[in-house]
Amino acid sequence: MRRAVRAALALAAVGGGGCDAGPERGTEDGVAPPVVRAEPVVGTVMPAAGAAAEFVLADTHGRPYDFLEETRGSVAMLFFGFTNCPDVCPVHLANLAAVLDQLPSRISRQVTVVFVTVDPERDTPERVREWLDGFDRDFVGLIGDAERVHDIQLGLGLPPAVVRRDGEGAVDVGHASHVMVFSRERDRRWVYPFGTRQSDWARDIPRLVEGVPTATAEES
Amino acid sequence: MRWWCSAQSIAWDWTWRPYIGVWILVALMAAGYVWLSRAETDARTDATNGRGWLFWLGLFLFWAALDWPLGALGGGYLASAHMLQFLLVGLVAPVLLELGLPASAFARLAGRPAALRVVRFLTNPLMALIIFNSVLVITHHPRIIDAWMPTQLGSFGIDALWFFAGLVFWWPVVCPVPERPRFPDLARMGYLFGNTIIAGFLALILVFADLPVYGVYELAPPTGWLTSREDQQIAGILMKVGGALILWTAMSVIFFRWYRRENPEPDVTSAGPPPSHAGARG
């Protein structure tokens, strides 16, 4: 329901002319400007990440992975989670994998999904690789020390994950459930909450890849 | 303890958790059956014409469909389990319960004209067809599933609608009220076939949809057995094949009974030897 309301608001914003130069709006010389229609997306627009997105962590092969450099030219989807997560993480990744599998390759090959573990103590590179391969072998897994990952999340405006261990070995992990999406030019980014459906991704990813101007309810 | 299964955003595990509402309902149905059967026994008549076991089988399947683990899985983890629940609660259990109830249960209706009128209205074949298929479409609509399944009351509502629609649907076929003329056999077969059509369309949507239809199952904590698309496809296959199997089985039973009635076997015990035998070696 909330998504429907947001979509309706976004549509209303678009229809209301907030982001739309409609064809009926002529210019003084009588030539109509090109129509640039902002498409509603589920994700919420956030300010550009700037230097916060400049980080380097180790990938699952132990090589340094410069996030900005390696994902240059593609839409990057960044997600912080852990492999023992019973709900949010596998659902997000399974949905992304399913949709990317169905989209035309000219779209899907311009998307890079990057998973950063917030539980490096248990998530070894091998464990992360094996887990990600269960969804999509092209998904990138990154591992860094907990403090560094904490700082990256803070810098990106995400609540940092909290990992609690009790005396009996039980581990409780709380983490942001958002997928952060960076435009190809890195000038825009969006956060997609848990609850984003495959149908949402299937509609939004081509728009994000093709650089279609987007609007969200928050912008209206 | 929860009283009815519903979608919960907690990871699936095999910890047993009963649903108290299901147990109470099943206990009430069992108690009602025992009470009706005892009334018949006092009259020294065969309460169910030897078909009482059908009631107990139906009640067992009703309970198995709604209690843990199938109830929990269908309530919030797997669309395929939800579809299996529909087949059991909406199609299998109702016919077994109706077939297994003692005749006195239905005979009591004859003494209640107002109740009989309502039953006659609801179980008119055309009305039953409309009710069953309306419930089928409404309770499998994504917006209804996604809105109702997360709450116990909503989940109970869907199960109750299935069960009610199943009882109404089978009534013209089983026709347990002696006072009401039996629906003709060929018409009953046509009625059953007619009820496979809309379910078949719904099943095809589930099987061939590119994306998951139900958010509640797509976003459920994964069980690790199936992807959401595979789960949905199995749900569609269950609806198509499972539903058809149940209805075609019923059609086959009706057909062969009708055939036997129309083509009775000759009574060999009372007939003498054929004339050709008498003079064959003479």
The ipTM (two decimal places) reads: 0.82
What token pair was written down for A59?
Answer: 């990938």
**By the 8 A CB rule, do B187 and B172 touch?**
no
Tens digit of each residue's pLDDT (9 = 90 or more) over B157-196: 999 999 999 999 999 898 766 556 667 888 999 999 999 9
Tens digit of each residue's pLDDT (9 = 90 or more) over B240-253: 999 999 999 999 99
pLDDT band per the 50, 70, 90 thresholds, residue B281: very low
pLDDT band per the 50, 70, 90 thresholds, residue A9: very low
Give me the DSSP letters along B257-274.
Answer: HHHHHHSPPP-TTTS---
What token pair was written down for A56?
Answer: 């380097």
Q: If you average pLDDT over residues A111-140, what whole number do you get?
A: 97
pLDDT band per the 50, 70, 90 thresholds, residue A166: confident
* CA dihedral angle for residue B18, residue B22, residue B27, residue B30, rounded to 10 degrees: -130
Beta bridge partners of A46: A189
The pLDDT value recorded for residue A2 is 43
Angstroms from A150 CA to nearest CA on chain B: 26
Contact residues of A toward B, CB < 8 A: 1, 86-87, 90-91, 94-95, 98-99, 102, 194-195, 197-199, 202
CB contact under 8 A, A198 and B220: no
Is-above-0.95 flag for pTM?
no
Give the count of alpha carbons within 13 A of A193, CB side only: 7
Tens digit of each residue's pLDDT (9 = 90 or more) over B22-64: 999 999 999 999 988 877 655 545 555 678 899 999 999 999 9
Non-local CB neighbours of B240 within 8 Å, separated by 6+ positions: B199, B200, B203, B204, B207
Closest CA to B250 of B192, B186, B176: B192
Angstroms from B78 CA to nearest CA on chain A: 13
Distance CA B95, CA B113 (A): 24
Beta bridge partners of A141: A115
Mutate to test the interface with B, among A199, A201, A203 (most CBs of B within 10 A): A199
Q: Which residues of A touch B218 (CB under 8 A)?
A: 91, 95, 197-198
Q: What is the DSSP letter of A184?
A: T
What token pair was written down for B47?
Answer: 């309460």
Closest CA to B4 of B91, B55, B74: B74
For B:130-149, CB contacts with A below 8 A are 147
For B:218-247, CB contacts with A below 8 A are 218-222, 227-229
CB contact under 8 A, B228 and A95: yes
**By the 8 A CB rule, do A161 and A84 touch?**
no
Distance CA A93, CA B273 (A): 80
**By the 8 A CB rule, do B33 and B41 touch?**
no
**Interface residue B15 vs chain A (CB under 8 A):** no
